[in-house]
Amino acid sequence: MSDPIRSENLLYLTDEQLRQGIEAMYFAYRGFTADPDRILESMAYGRAHHRAIHFINRAPGTTVTNLLDILGVTKQSLNRVLRTLIEDGLVESRVGTSDRRERNLFLTEEGTALEHRLSDAQRARMRTAFREAGPEDVAGFRRVLEAMMEGEMKRQYLSLRESGK
């Protein structure tokens, strides 16, 4: 009021704007997971399997501990998911070469096939959204999301980002 320029600049920080941002996150995340969920529910898998498959594909040969760090769940919880994926022949667990206590995880051909189906669906929605919005909006989207991450997760995101070239 006393400083129209400054208050106009900060209009996007009103409680109402923030609440809309919160609700946008909520509804968008549901859209974000909807397509893979539909594919997964036809099989005996859930979102937890998707996450495991995604990050094993993303970093082939990753260890169980590393996956635990990325996913932020307990080893018991991850193990249950991993076991079914290994039993079903989607994931292969090889004894580590340098450290034989470790297990290196890889997707099999079948696992890769499912990963493709899932990520194709998810990318298609992301692509549509990105195209609808445009490059500037996409950059903003990414910057806000990155600023929203917690420290440890942001580090993991950035390191994946790096390794992805």
Partner DNA sequence: TTGGAGTGTCAACAAAGCTGACGTATTGTG
Partner DNA sequence: CACAATACGTCAGCTTTGTTGACACTCCAA
Binding site for a copy of itself (CB under 8 A): 9, 11-13, 15-32, 34, 51, 58, 72, 119, 122-123, 125-133, 135-150, 153-154, 156-157, 160-161, 164-165
Examine residue 77 and tell whether it contacts DNA (CB under 7 A): yes
Of 74, 65, 76, the residue nearest 102 (C-alpha): 65
Taking CB under 7 A as the criterion, which residues in 45-74 touch DNA? 45-49, 51, 63-65, 68, 71-74
Nearer residue to DNA within complex by CB, 22 or 144: 22
Q: How many residues are listed for the chain in this entry?
A: 165
- Minimum distance from residue 68 beta carbon to DNA (Å): 7
Q: Does residue 116 touch DNA according to CB under 7 A?
A: no
d(CA 42, CA 155) in angstroms, rounded, equals 34
As given in the structure block, the two tokens for residue 22 are 């919160």
Burial 82-94 (b: 16+ CB within 10 A, else e): bebbbebebbbee
The two structure tokens encoding residue 24: 């946008």
Count of residues binding DNA (CB under 7 A)? 33
The type of residue at 131 is: R
Least Å distance, CB 102 to DNA, is: 3
SS3 88: coil
Half-sphere exposure of 86 (CA within 13 A, CB side): 14
Q: Which does 116 bind (CB under 5 to 8 A by kind): DNA, a copy of itself, none?
A: none
DSSP-derived secondary structure letter, 98: S
| Binding partner selected for residue 17 from DNA, a copy of itself, none, CB under the kind-specific 5 to 8 Å limit | a copy of itself
Residues in contact with DNA by CB under 7 A are: 44-49, 51, 63-65, 68, 71-83, 93, 95-96, 98-103
